[in-house]
């Protein structure tokens, strides 16, 4: 066994393409425990340095999927609805799944959204939803099917038997400096989404300081790789590259973002959150073959809000319950008069993390009410001394650390020097 692992490592070390048999064997053997962590670490580093071609990445993804179960949601099992899903590579204030899933369901599709929890400066969808009293993340497959047939949308945790090879390899990459390997990022994301059983997929690839991919070229390469994997596995896939130099919306934090999402479903909310929700909804519906419904109409007529309430109630949550609030707040004023030219997403995410909204380790608890409330976005006029941020936390001793990082987040310019701000969508990738 050990000698076979060494042969695979040497092949990739020497810039040779791995054979299908080598890929199948090494992924299965690592999942079983027959390939040691140090051997898979060496292979992951060789992949990071020397890359993989399209066939290799597709086969690696196949092997990851094959390590566990593959779910299926044929239309007859979900009330005749076609399935479609969205995946975001993660950002600050990225609460889009919350209004998006019920909105797309209100338009006639089924959305089987398997989501995760946050780690570091980016928030997790499940953490946000778990701030709703009574809501539960864990469902059986039968519960998922019943909810998809009835409501049309479900957001829940993935089971441990969905691409277990990915779970093991992801943890290893995190501690060996190989997280950035695009073949491994793409296969990690797509193995879970393909195993989830959706018929169409829209990828929201974030670009900028608050995103995993900091520059447009790397983000475009990742998007192209994932779109190709979708095509290779008969999942209709498109990707939008969207800006994450500035946080989405006006909140970063769990209950704060739920509150803002409900505002969007009620017909209000920040313009950028509404814009991205509608853009992604239209892409998801097109992938599902639904072209005769405008999701903007479903926001306006209240049917998206109805679907949200039913989705939350179906998973034990009370859509009318008062959301948690932090015990303490602290206002951070604007340092000067002028125009807000920059609001660094990473710094805002780190501030929310320091306030208790995120976690450093998977087992850490989060504060449901903690986070950052923003009173202005880039392009807005600000006045020195007026509120720029409101910080929320249960612990007053957390405020100083959050204020420290936010001091580096803000760029204010004179009124006459208004910035040229990027658009929300930077590119679209499809095959």
Q: How confident is the model at residue 378 (pLDDT cuts 50, 70, 90)?
A: very high
| Structure tokens, 150 | 């009835």
CA 255 remoteness from chain centre: 17
Angle between helices 37-50 and 164-174 (to 10 degrees): 80
* Confidence tier at 128 by pLDDT (50, 70, 90): very high
Contact 258, 95 (CB under 8 A): yes
Q: In what order do the strands lie in the sheet containing 387-393?
A: 251-253, 371-374, 387-393, 328-333
- Whether the per-residue pLDDT at 164 is higher than 90: the answer is yes
Instruction: Answer whether residue 260 shows pLDDT above 80.
Output: yes
Q: What is the pLDDT of residues 341-356, one digit of tens each?
A: 999 999 999 999 999 9
Looking at the domain 2-51, which fold is it? 1.20.970
What pLDDT score was predicted for residue 119? Answer: 64
Q: What is the mean pLDDT of the chain?
A: 95
Residue of 427, 424, 252, 275 lying closest to 345 (CA atoms): 252
Q: Among 325-329, 331-335, 362-366, where is mean pLDDT lowest? A: 362-366
Cα(106)–Cα(83) distance, rounded to whole angstroms?
13
Q: List, by residue number, the catalytic residues.
A: 87, 166, 173, 188, 192
The two beta strands, 251-253 and 200-207, are unpaired
Q: Is 163 exposed, middle or buried (0-12, 13-18, 19+ CB in 10 A)?
A: buried
The pLDDT confidence band at residue 361, using thresholds 50, 70 and 90, is confident
Lowest mean pLDDT among 282-286, 413-417, 427-431: 413-417
Tokens found for residue 116:
């995760």
**The pLDDT of residue 3:** 66
Which CATH number describes the domain made up of 75-159+179-314?
Answer: 3.40.1030.10
Tell me the average pLDDT across 143-170.
93
> Which of 172, 224, 183 minimizes the C-alpha distance to 61?
183
pLDDT one-digit tens code per residue, 214-248: 999 999 999 999 999 999 999 999 999 999 999 99
Confidence at residue 159, expressed as pLDDT on a 0 to 100 scale:
87
Q: Is the pTM value of this prediction over 0.85? A: yes
- Which residues are 162's β-sheet partners? none
- Separation in Å, CA 184 to CA 17, 52, 147: 15, 9, 32
Give backbone dihedrals phi and psi of 98, rounded to 5 degrees, phi first. Answer: -65, -50
Task: Name the strand (E) or helix (H) holding 4.
Answer: helix 2-13
Fold of 328-413: Aldehyde Oxidoreductase; domain 3 (3.90.1170)
Q: What is the percentage of the chain residues whose pLDDT exceeds 70?
A: 99
Mean pLDDT of 317-321: 97
Q: Give the model's pLDDT for residue 2.
A: 59
- Nearest partner of 329 among 402, 256, 249, 399, judged by Cα: 399
Q: Where are the domains of the chain?
A: 2-51, 75-159+179-314, 328-413
Query: In whole angstroms, how far apart are CA 142 and each of 93, 139, 149, 301?
Result: 32, 8, 11, 31
Q: What are phi and psi of 426, to 5 degrees?
A: -95, -25
């Amino acid at each position: 066994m050990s000698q076979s692992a060494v042969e695979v490592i040497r092949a990739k070390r020497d810039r040779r393409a791995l054979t299908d048999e080598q890929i199948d064997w090494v992924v299965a053997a690592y999942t079983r425990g027959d390939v040691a962590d140090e051997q898979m670490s060496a292979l992951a580093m060789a992949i990071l340095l020397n890359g993989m071609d399209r066939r290799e990445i597709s086969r690696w993804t196949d092997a990851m999927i094959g390590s566990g179960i593959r779910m299926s949601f044929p239309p007859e099992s979900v009330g005749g609805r076609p399935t479609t899903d969205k995946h975001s590579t993660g950002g600050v204030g990225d609460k889009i799944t919350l209004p998006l899933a019920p909105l797309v369901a209100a338009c006639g599709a089924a959305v089987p959204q398997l989501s995760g929890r946050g780690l570091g400066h980016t928030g997790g969808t499940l953490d946000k939803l778990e701030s709703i009293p009574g809501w539960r993340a864990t469902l059986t497959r039968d519960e998922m099917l019943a909810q998809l047939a009835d409501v049309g949308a479900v957001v829940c945790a993935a089971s441990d038997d969905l691409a277990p090879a990915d779970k093991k390899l992801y943890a290893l990459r995190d501690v060996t400096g190989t997280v950035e390997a695009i073949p491994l990022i793409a296969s990690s994301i797509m193995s879970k989404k393909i195993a989830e059983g959706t018929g169409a997929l829209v990828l929201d690839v974030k670009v900028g300081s608050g995103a995993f991919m900091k520059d447009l070229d790397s983000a475009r390469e990742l998007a192209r790789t994932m779109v190709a994997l979708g095509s290779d596995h008969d999942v209709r896939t498109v990707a939008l590259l969207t800006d994450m130099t500035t946080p989405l919306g006006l909140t970063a934090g769990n209950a704060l973002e739920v509150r803002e999402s409900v505002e969007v479903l009620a017909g209000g909310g920040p313009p950028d959150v509404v814009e991205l929700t509608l853009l992604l909804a239209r892409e998801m519906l097109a992938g599902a073959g639904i072209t005769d419904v405008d999701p903007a109409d479903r926001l306006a007529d209240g049917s998206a809000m109805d679907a949200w309430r039913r989705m939350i109630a179906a998973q034990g949550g009370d859509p009318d319950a008062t959301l948690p609030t932090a015990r303490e707040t602290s206002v951070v004023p604007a340092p000067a008069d002028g125009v807000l030219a920059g609001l660094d997403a990473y710094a805002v995410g780190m501030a929310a993390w320091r306030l208790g909204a995120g976690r450093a380790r998977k087992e850490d608890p989060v504060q449901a009410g903690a986070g950052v409330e923003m009173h202005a976005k880039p392009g807005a006029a600000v006045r020195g001394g007026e509120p720029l941020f409101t910080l929320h936390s249960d612990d007053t001793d957390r405020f100083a650390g959050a204020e420290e990082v936010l001091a580096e987040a803000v760029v204010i310019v004179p009124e006459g020097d208004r910035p040229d701000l990027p658009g929300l969508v930077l590119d679209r990738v499809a095959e």
